[in-house]
C-alpha cells in the first residue's frame, strides 16, 4: 500500500431536464486535500480508500460523515463500482442518509455531477456520485420518484391516477428496472443509456413478432428508458427445486434455437472470456496465497481459448441464467417458458457463451442456497447444472471446448464477489479446463 496526498479543485454543475416543467439542478464547488491509502490496481482490497473519499463527499455537501456501510460491489470494464449508504450530520439535531457510488478507474469522459479524485503520483482516479443521479442513466433520477415518473409515463400516453414505485433491479452505470404500479396498469421501466433505448424497444417488438415471449414494449424515450409490460409466470430461479430438469432444458433449447434464427444487426455483449487477464490479475491480488494456482488456471483457460475454432455468430441472449427465464406455474412437470427478460445484452455471438453463463450461474446459485439454508434449491441447481453440462458434447467438440473455457472464466470472475466461496469456485473452474475427464 502507498500513502499519497491528492489535491482536488472542481466545480460541478448537474442539470437534468426531463420535460419543460421538470428540471433538477445541483451545483457544488469543492477544494480538498486528501490522504488516500490506495490499493488500486495492485493491492488486494478494492476501494480501500472509500472512507476518506466519502468524508470528502460529505464535506462537499457541508456535512460531516457519521457512519458508512458498503452494500454492493461489482466489477466494471476497468475496475469496481461499490455502493455505500452514508449517514451525514448537517449540524442540526438530526442526521441524513444518502446513497453514494464509488467507481475505480472510471471513464475519462466528462460527466456532470461526478466528483473525480485523482492520485497525482499514479494517475489512478476514483469517481463519486449521489444516487439516483447515475451519470450514465440520466432518466433514473426521475423514474424513482412517483411524481416525476408520472410525467414520464404521460409522455408515453400512460396516465396514472396514482403511482407506487419500487426498484426491481439496479446495476450502476448499466441499467435499472423500476416497477410502476398504478390502478390503471403495471409497467416496468427499463432505464438504460440514452442511445440504447430506441434499439432496445425495436428489439422487443421484433423478437415478440418472431414468437419469443419477451415483455411487450409500451413505448420508449430518448432520455433513456422503455416501458415494458409484465410477463406471465414465475421466475425459474424461484422454482428450480420443483420443475423437471430434462424437460426444462428441452424447452430452453427450443427457445434459444428460436432466438438463434432471429436476425441481428449488431454484436451481443462482449464475452466475459475477453476479460480473462483482468480477472487473473484481480483475483491474484485478492487472494495472494492462491496466486500461483490462479495464474496456472488463467494459462489453462487461455490455451483452450487460443486453440478453439470461433463459432459462426448467431443471435444469442448474451446473459442467460434462470433469473431471465419465466415459467408457466401450471406446467412445471413439463415446463413451458412464458417469458424471456433482459434482452439488452442480445445480439450476434457464440451460443457457447449462453450455455457457459447458465452453467456458471447455477454453480454459484447452489452455493448461495447453501449459505441461506435452502438445500432443496441448492440441489436443484446442482442437478440442473450437471444436466445442462452433459448436453454440451452433443453440439460438437468445438462447442464443448468453448463452453468449458468460457464457463471457467465466469467462475473465476465470481471469485471477486464479496463472500464468494473462492476455493470451491477456483476448483470448479480448474476442473473445467485442466481435468481431462471434463472433456
**Phi/psi class of residue 347: alpha, beta or left (left: φ > 0; alpha: ψ in -120 to 50)?**
left
For residue 13, give Cα distances in angstroms to 26, 57, 114, 131. Answer: 6, 15, 9, 16
- Reading the block at residue 79, the C-alpha cell is 475496475
Of residues 180, 48, 32, the one with CA closest to residue 190: 180
Q: What are the helix (H) ranges across 374-418?
A: 375-390, 397-414
* pLDDT band of 19, cuts 50, 70, 90: very low
Q: What pLDDT, on the 0 to 100 scale, is given for residue 75? A: 83
Tens digits of per-residue pLDDT, 375-429? 999 999 999 999 999 999 999 999 999 999 999 999 999 999 888 899 999 999 9
Q: What pLDDT, on the 0 to 100 scale, is given for residue 46? A: 62
Q: What pLDDT, on the 0 to 100 scale, is given for residue 43? A: 42
Q: What pLDDT, on the 0 to 100 scale, is given for residue 248? A: 98
User: For residue 192, how far is the Cα from the chain centroid?
Assistant: 12
* pLDDT band of 118, cuts 50, 70, 90: confident
* pLDDT band of 55, cuts 50, 70, 90: very high
343 near 210, Cβ under 8 Å? Answer: no
* pLDDT band of 48, cuts 50, 70, 90: confident
What is the spatial distance between Cα 218 and Cα 185, in angstroms, rounded to a whole number?
A: 11
88 near 96, Cβ under 8 Å? Answer: yes
Tens digits of per-residue pLDDT, 165-223? 999 999 999 999 999 999 999 999 999 999 999 999 999 999 999 999 999 999 999 99
H/E segment holding residue 285: helix 276-286
Q: What is the CB-side half-sphere exposure of residue 367 using CA atoms within 13 A?
A: 17
Q: What pLDDT, on the 0 to 100 scale, is given for residue 124? A: 77
CATH fold of 140-229: Phosphorylase Kinase; domain 1 (3.30.200)
What is the spatial distance between Cα 82 and Cα 236, in angstroms, rounded to a whole number?
A: 28
Q: What pLDDT, on the 0 to 100 scale, is given for residue 275? A: 94
Higher pLDDT, 247 or 80: 247
Q: What pLDDT, on the 0 to 100 scale, is given for residue 36? A: 39
What is the spatial distance between Cα 351 and Cα 311, in angstroms, rounded to a whole number?
A: 8
- Reading the block at residue 50, the C-alpha cell is 472509500
* pLDDT band of 437, cuts 50, 70, 90: low
Q: What pLDDT, on the 0 to 100 scale, is given for residue 350? A: 98
What's the first-to-final CA gap in the chain, in angstroms?
A: 42
Phi, psi of 419 (to 5 degrees): 80, 5
Query: Which part of the chain has CATH 3.30.200.20?
Result: 140-229
Average pLDDT over residues 256-268: 97
CB contact set of 425 (below 8 Å; sequence gap of 6+): 363, 364, 367, 411, 412, 414, 415
What is the spatial distance between Cα 384 and Cα 414, in angstroms, rounded to a whole number?
A: 19
Average pLDDT over residues 244-251: 98
Taking residue 242's Cβ as centre, other Cβ atoms within 10 Å add up to 16
171 near 181, Cβ under 8 Å? Answer: no
Q: What pLDDT, on the 0 to 100 scale, is given for residue 78? A: 79
**Average pLDDT over the chain, rounded to an integer:** 89
Report DSSP state, residue 331.
Answer: G
Query: Which part of the chain has CATH 3.90.1200.10?
Result: 234-438
Tens digits of per-residue pLDDT, 265-316? 999 999 999 999 999 999 999 999 999 999 999 999 999 999 999 999 999 9
Percentage of residues of the chain with pLDDT beyond 90: 78
* pLDDT band of 120, cuts 50, 70, 90: confident
Q: Which residue is associated with the grid cell 446459485?
A: 365
The CATH classification number of 234-438 equals 3.90.1200.10
Amino acid at each position: 500500500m502507498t500513502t499519497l496526498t491528492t489535491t482536488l479543485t472542481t466545480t460541478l454543475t448537474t442539470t437534468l431536464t426531463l420535460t419543460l416543467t421538470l428540471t433538477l439542478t445541483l451545483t457544488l464547488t469543492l477544494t480538498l486535500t486528501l490522504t488516500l491509502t490506495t490499493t488500486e490496481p495492485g493491492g488486494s482490497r478494492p476501494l480501500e480508500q472509500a472512507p476518506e473519499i466519502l468524508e470528502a463527499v460529505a464535506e462537499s455537501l457541508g456535512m460531516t460523515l457519521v457512519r458508512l456501510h458498503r452494500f454492493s460491489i461489482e466489477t466494471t470494464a476497468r475496475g469496481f463500482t461499490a455502493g455505500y449508504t452514508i449517514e451525514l450530520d448537517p449540524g442540526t439535531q438530526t442526521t441524513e442518509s444518502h446513497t453514494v457510488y464509488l467507481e475505480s478507474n472510471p471513464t475519462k469522459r466528462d460527466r456532470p455531477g461526478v466528483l473525480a479524485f485523482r492520485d497525482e503520483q499514479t494517475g489512478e482516479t476514483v469517481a463519486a456520485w449521489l444516487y439516483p443521479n447515475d451519470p450514465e442513466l440520466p432518466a433514473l433520477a426521475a423514474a424513482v420518484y412517483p411524481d416525476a415518473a408520472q410525467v414520464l409515463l404521460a409522455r408515453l400516453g400512460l396516465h396514472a391516477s396514482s403511482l407506487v414505485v419500487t426498484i426491481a433491479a439496479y446495476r450502476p452505470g448499466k441499467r435499472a428496472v423500476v416497477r410502476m404500479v398504478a390502478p390503471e396498469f403495471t409497467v416496468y421501466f427499463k432505464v438504460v443509456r440514452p442511445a440504447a433505448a430506441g434499439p432496445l424497444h425495436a428489439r422487443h417488438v421484433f423478437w415478440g413478432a418472431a414468437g419469443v415471449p419477451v415483455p411487450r414494449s409500451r413505448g420508449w424515450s430518448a432520455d433513456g428508458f422503455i416501458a415494458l409490460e409484465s410477463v406471465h409466470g414465475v421466475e425459474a430461479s424461484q422454482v428450480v427445486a420443483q420443475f423437471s430438469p430434462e424437460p426444462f432444458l428441452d424447452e430452453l433449447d427450443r427457445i434459444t434455437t428460436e432466438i438463434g434464427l432471429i436476425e441481428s444487426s449488431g454484436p451481443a455483449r462482449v464475452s466475459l472470456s475477453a476479460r480473462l487477464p483482468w480477472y487473473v490479475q484481480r483475483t491474484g491480488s485478492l487472494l495472494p496465497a492462491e496466486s500461483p494456482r490462479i495464474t496456472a488456471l488463467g494459462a489453462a483457460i487461455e490455451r483452450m481459448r487460443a486453440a478453439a475454432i470461433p463459432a459462426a455468430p448467431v443471435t444469442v441472449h448474451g446473459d442467460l441464467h434462470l433469473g431471465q427465464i419465466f415459467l408457466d406455474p401450471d406446467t412445471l412437470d413439463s415446463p413451458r417458458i412464458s417469458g424471456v427478460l433482459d434482452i439488452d445484452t442480445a445480439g450476434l455471438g457464440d451460443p457457447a457463451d449462453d450455455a457457459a453463463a447458465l452453467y456458471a450461474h447455477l454453480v454459484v446459485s447452489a452455493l448461495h442456497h447453501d449459505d441461506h439454508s435452502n438445500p432443496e434449491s441448492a440441489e436443484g441447481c446442482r442437478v440442473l447444472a450437471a444436466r445442462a453440462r452433459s448436453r454440451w458434447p452433443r453440439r460438437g467438440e468445438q462447442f464443448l471446448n468453448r463452453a468449458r473455457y468460457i464457463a471457467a472464466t465466469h467462475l473465476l470472475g465470481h471469485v471477486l464477489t464479496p463472500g464468494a466461496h473462492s476455493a470451491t469456485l477456483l476448483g470448479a473452474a480448474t476442473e473445467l479446463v485442466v481435468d481431462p475427464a471434463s472433456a
